[in-house]
Amino acid sequence: MLEPALPEIALVGRSNVGKSSLLNALVGRRALARVSSTPGKTQHVNVFQLPTFYLIDLPGYGWARASATDRRSFRQLLETYLKRRERLAGIVWLLDIRHSPSLDDQEVHAVLVETGRPTLVALTKGDKLPQERRAKEALIRARELGMGIDGLVVTSTKTGDGIRDLAESVLAAVAAA
Ligand code: GTP
Ligand code: MG
């Protein structure tokens, strides 16, 4: 158990999707969580304490070089965490704006839907697409997930796009906990 007992917000997503970068952007710090171009950088559950809640940086899933055993034990960890964690007030689920959800993403999506936890979808690396493609891809991602476009926020840790919106939604989830 974490002390003091505060609500938790967890960042969930494939390896390399930008979880640690987004955490740093949300907190307004450059290098709180370790960012790397090598997938699988975050290997532990890292906890960052903010005044009113915890931000949890989870290891990424779908890491190509992970062994089958590692994959299985990670999935177990994620599923148990999402289902049982009492203070979990919300999840920020990250998807790269440029790609359709992978099989791993789809499995995680099913768990998220099953747990019914409040989930914010962050479409990451928005700066990698020109403006008009960005809106188009966001619509496609929403359709693929069976969600309205309002449930998704396009983010970029390079330009800062979407970070404030996401931070506000995170704070609202914390307030509702
Ligand atoms: P793991 O810890 O391996 O699960 O990865 P992660 O999801 O924490 O990703 P991380 O934040 O380490 O970022 C992975 C790579 O993507 C790094 O090279 C980042 O600089 C890059 N990246 C993250 N966010 C953005 C973004 O908004 N735009 C661009 N262009 N690159 C980004
Ligand atoms: Mg990371």
- How many angstroms is it from 26 CA to the middle of ligand 1? 14
pLDDT tens-place string over residues 159-171: 999 999 999 999 9
User: Which CATH superfamily includes the segment(s) 8-176?
Assistant: P-loop containing nucleotide triphosphate hydrolases (3.40.50.300)
pLDDT tens-place string over residues 138-148: 999 999 999 99
60: Cβ–Cβ under 8 A, 6 or more apart, which residues?
A: 13, 14, 15, 16, 17, 19, 39, 40, 42
Six token digits for residue 132: 């008009």
| Structural domain spans, the chain | 8-176
Q: Which residue do the tokens 């479409």 mark?
A: 123
Helix (H, G, I), strand (E, B) or coil at 28: coil
The pick from 11, 21, 155 for probing ligand 1's pocket by mutation, whose C-beta has the most ligand atoms within 8 angstroms, reads 21
Residues in the chain, pLDDT under 50: none
